[in-house]
């Protein structure tokens, strides 16, 4: 284990590599989509890291993010292997137990009051995953969390653009962001 002075920088790099591994398996850039082996490896490594560093909220955030995406994978891809848009997915195919477990992991991480990019991404995915129907999505929470994520990543202009896109998804709100300067 690296010393305390090196741990933060190395942890950031390790988390990034695990997330890249997951994404390559989940949205494969070469070969068949959703290579379960890479997804499973990424989840295993994130879980192992979480066992080694249970007090590190970003580790828990990444593990929750991976598990939330994995819980929805059976509805995310069509018979041809193409992506199915979130609003068109059959939510009865989602693993509700895995979603609940991942949301619990995310809640415990949030109690540490040190939000980071993986926790914030997982919180957005949880908003989608916990909604029984597309129409039940908590868009206000998504807007707030996306803005916090983009501010944390250092891009306030992108945060405003993301806010507008998310606001456009809310029934009765379409176009009102122009009036309020969002």
Would you state the pLDDT for residue 89?
A: 95
Question: Which of the four pLDDT bands, split at 50, 70 and 90, describes residue 100?
Answer: very high
Quote the percentage of the chain above a pLDDT of 70: 79
CB atoms within 10 A of CB 114: 13
**67-92 mean pLDDT:** 90
> Given this model, what pLDDT does residue 90 score?
95
Q: Answer whether residue 171 shows pLDDT above 70.
A: no
Identify the DSSP state of 136: G
Alpha-carbon gap, residue 174 to 177, rounded angstroms: 7
Q: Is the pLDDT score of 175 beyond 50?
A: no
pLDDT for position 182? 38
Would you mind telling me the total number of residues written for the chain in this entry?
A: 182
Among 130, 128, 115, 117, smallest CA distance to 166 is for 128
Instruction: Pull the structure tokens for residue 45.
Output: 């490594």
Banded pLDDT at 161 (limits 50, 70, 90) = low
Query: Which pTM value belongs to this model?
Result: 0.82
Task: Determine the Cα–Cα distance for residues 83 and 17; give it in Å rounded to an integer.
Answer: 23
- What is the pLDDT averaged over residues 163-176? 57
Which of 94, 10, 107, 111 shows the shortest CA–CA distance to 52?
10
Q: Residue 90 — φ and ψ, nearest 5°?
A: -85, 100
pLDDT score recorded for residue 179:
37
Domain locations in the chain?
A: 4-115
Distance, in Å, from the CA atom of 127 to the CA atom of 140, rounded to the nearest integer, reads: 10
d(CA 1, CA 109): 22
Task: Select from 106, 71, 65, 62 the least CA-distant residue to 89.
Answer: 71
**Mean pLDDT, residues 35-43:** 88
């Amino acid at each position: 284990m690296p010393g305390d002075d090196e741990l933060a920088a190395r942890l950031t790099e390790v988390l990034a590599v695990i997330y890249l591994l997951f994404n390559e398996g989940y949205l494969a850039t070469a070969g068949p989509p959703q290579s379960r082996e890479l997804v499973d490896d990424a989840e295993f490594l994130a879980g192992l890291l979480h066992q080694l560093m249970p007090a590190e909220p970003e580790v828990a955030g990444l593990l929750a993010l991976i598990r939330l995406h994995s819980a929805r994978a059976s509805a995310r891809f069509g018979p041809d292997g193409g992506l199915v848009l979130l609003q068109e997915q059959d939510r009865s195919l989602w693993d509700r137990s895995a979603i609940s477990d991942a949301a619990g992991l995310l809640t415990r991480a949030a109690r540490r009051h040190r939000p980071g990019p993986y926790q914030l991404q997982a919180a957005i995915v949880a908003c989608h995953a916990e909604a029984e129907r597309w129409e039940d999505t908590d868009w206000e929470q998504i807007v707030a969390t996306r803005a916090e994520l983009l501010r944390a990543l250092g891009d306030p202009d992108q945060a405003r653009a993301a806010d507008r896109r998310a606001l456009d998804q809310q029934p009765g709100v379409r176009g009102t962001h122009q009036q309020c300067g969002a």
